[in-house]
Structure 1
């Protein structure tokens, strides 16, 4: 069953004073099935960041429809957007977006606090997540006291604790060393196997090779897609690399 539907999405930005128009997205259509792990790739300026902002209900398309569980994101009232985002979407960012004045535990609890959950309910949710992510021992520490990999695990915990329909990850390995990257990608795969739907925007071929499907964006359109099928991570890595070469050299859409 599709939980995310993107149909004929178009986004045009008008420069100041209306002098020029920039077409960031031309005609993007795709769907994400419940339990899928999808990576989106493309060169800088391809439109993937614009697409992510629209999927996150941070921006609205010029035309076209984005639906999450059948609800048109553009039709949500401005006053209800924050609550919708908090209740349905989990976010994992490249720079973690943790508050240094809050402990790791309080950073993770923050979306539940904003949603008005009671402390005992928050603790019941956190205990198994912290155990799964291996961060139980750092919950009372502050972000500046832990490593980048631990910060990103805390960010993943914050995304998971709201029990979101969809996790949106924006370059989640971008600020991590190779060891922390491997750990995070293994973690994402485990979370996905447990049924969590993930959509990740990334420049990293290694990160994308862990996904079940890879969408390639070029000039504001879905240019090509790859399915994992029976491919290993290494085999998918090679196919992704070949496709990126095709994109860079002006190959035909497939």
Structure 2
């Protein structure tokens, strides 16, 4: 059974004034296997953010289902949603979402503090992650004292420390320079090779070219998908670029 299964997903918004309806997602179907690294791409307004919000249990679909490990996200009680997200999902955002009044260590510990974990256990979980991400000597620093790339590595550590079933990454390289981008993408590949499932929404062809599979969303539907197969990052980059050109010029579904 797939780790994540999205079936016939639809989302319709009703505007506040005039009662007009906007269909953000039409009929989205895809699945993600445990250990996969999947990128989702599409133009602004294609439905990517809506899809991500539903996968994160921040919004409910108008129709269809999202199953994570066989559990229907839309049937989770409102009072249990925050706990479900904390126990099952890790989040990496474009703008890091770190608290400036907390050290990097305390930012990373936050989801475990909310779980009521003891400091000793939190520290035991953190040390190998911090070592892998190269931030062991930065843990006592505050977000305003480190670079954007270091902030994002701290954010990745916070996502990993709960041992989530799925990491959802929203434009994770969007605020990074090219060197920090390369470093983060290398780390994502390492984390994935260790068995972590990653679903990343991105506008970056470079970021998507590190994934195993790329889904393209257009007008609220999955328009096309590309599997890495034996392709190098450079070859996958070119395939993605070609597909985005087709999307932009109104080409047919492939």
Aligned to 2:12: 12
Q: CA deviation at 1:19?
A: 2.2
- Name the SS of the counterpart of 1:35 in structure 2: coil
Q: CA deviation at 1:226?
A: 0.1
Q: Deviations over 1:151-202 (max 9, x none)?
A: 0000000000000000000000000000000000000000000000000000
Aligned pair count reads 254
**Shift >6 Å, 4+ stretches:** none
Q: CA deviation at 1:38?
A: 0.1
* TM-score, normalised by the number of residues in structure 1: 0.99
Partner Cα separation in structure 2 for residue 236 and residue 17 of structure 1: 44
Partner Cα separation in structure 1 for residue 17 and residue 171 of structure 2: 33
Question: Where does structure 1 lack aligned partners over 5 or more consecutive residues?
Answer: none
Instruction: Say yes or no: does 1:153 pair with 2:136.
Output: no
Q: How does 1:236-251 map to 2 (within 5 A)?
A: 236-251=236-251
Partner Cα separation in structure 2 for residue 214 and residue 19 of structure 1: 35
Q: How does 1:75-94 map to 2 (within 5 A)?
A: 75-94=75-94
Aligned to 2:112: 112
Q: Deviations over 1:130-165 (max 9, x none)?
A: 000000000000000000000000000000000000
- Name the SS of the counterpart of 2:3 in structure 1: strand
Instruction: Say yes or no: does 1:165 pair with 2:165.
Output: yes
Q: CA deviation at 1:14?
A: 0.1
Q: CA deviation at 1:84?
A: 0.2
Partner Cα separation in structure 2 for residue 92 and residue 70 of structure 1: 24
Aligned to 2:62: 62
Instruction: Say yes or no: does 1:193 pair with 2:197.
Output: no
Q: Deviations over 1:196-242 (max 9, x none)?
A: 00000000000000000000000000000000000000000000000
* TM-score, normalised by the number of residues in structure 2: 0.99
Partner Cα separation in structure 2 for residue 49 and residue 16 of structure 1: 20
Partner Cα separation in structure 1 for residue 214 and residue 20 of structure 2: 32
Partner Cα separation in structure 2 for residue 76 and residue 118 of structure 1: 27
Q: CA deviation at 1:97?
A: 0.2
Instruction: Say yes or no: does 1:96 pair with 2:96.
Output: yes
Partner Cα separation in structure 2 for residue 111 and residue 158 of structure 1: 7
Aligned to 2:122: 122
Partner Cα separation in structure 1 for residue 80 and residue 155 of structure 2: 24
Partner Cα separation in structure 2 for residue 245 and residue 125 of structure 1: 44
Q: CA deviation at 1:17?
A: 4.2
Question: Where does structure 2 lack aligned partners over 5 or more consecutive residues?
Answer: none
Q: CA deviation at 1:18?
A: 5.0
